[in-house]
């Protein structure tokens, strides 16, 4: 279970860091499924970008350095809340494929939270 949680933390940590940086300068020519990024107001780009970068770092770094490891669970919970916002945003735009993807990521973040608080908590040095 610990290995599965680590794999999920690394994959989604890197994913959120990458998407978070894209919020600060959305590249031209994104695939249609990501065209919603062009419609977000600038303030929401900044809020989402910062939250996703910090959350992605929080999924990986505390466990890697064995310092403040409880932050990994909090990062997963925070990213789950970001995904709730994403689900609502995509529902209002009738983007059901994106909503489904965000809902699945929401469930994975809740699994990481549960895994790191109940199943296999990380330990500080």
Per-residue H/E/C for 63-125: HHHCCCCHHHHHHHHHHHHHHHHHHHHHHHCCCHHHHHHHHHHHHHHHHHHHHHHHHCCCCCC
| C-alpha closest to that of 105 among 78, 74, 70, 69 | 78
Q: What is the pLDDT along the chain (125 residues), one digit of tens a residue?
A: 999 999 999 999 999 999 999 999 999 998 888 889 899 999 999 999 999 999 999 999 999 999 999 999 999 999 999 999 999 999 999 999 999 999 999 999 999 999 999 999 999 99
Q: Is the residue at 15 inside a domain?
A: yes
pLDDT value at residue 75 = 98
Q: Is the residue at 83 inside a domain?
A: yes
pLDDT value at residue 10 = 98
Count up the domains in the chain and report the number: 1
Task: Provide the 8-state DSSP code for 11.
Answer: H
State the residue range of the domain holding 49.
Answer: 2-25+38-119
pLDDT value at residue 34 = 87
Residues 6+ apart with CB under 8 A from 116: 5, 69, 72, 73, 76, 122
What gap in Å lies between CA 29 and CA 22, rounded to an integer?
Answer: 12
Q: Is the residue at 30 inside a domain?
A: no
Q: Is the residue at 31 inside a domain?
A: no
Q: Is the residue at 79 inside a domain?
A: yes
């Amino acid at each position: 279970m610990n290995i599965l949680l680590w794999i999920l933390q690394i994959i989604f940590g890197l994913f959120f860091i990458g998407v978070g940086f894209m919020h600060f300068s959305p590249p031209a020519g994104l695939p249609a499924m990501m065209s919603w990024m062009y419609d977000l107001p600038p303030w929401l780009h900044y809020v989402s970008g910062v939250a996703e970068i910090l959350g992605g770092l929080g999924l990986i770094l505390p466990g890697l350095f064995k310092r403040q490891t409880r932050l990994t669970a909090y990062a997963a919970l925070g990213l789950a809340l970001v995904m709730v916002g994403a689900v609502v945003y995509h529902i209002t735009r009738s983007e059901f494929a994106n909503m489904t993807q965000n809902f699945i990521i929401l469930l994975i973040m809740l699994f990481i939270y549960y895994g790191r608080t109940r199943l296999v908590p990380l330990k500080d040095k």
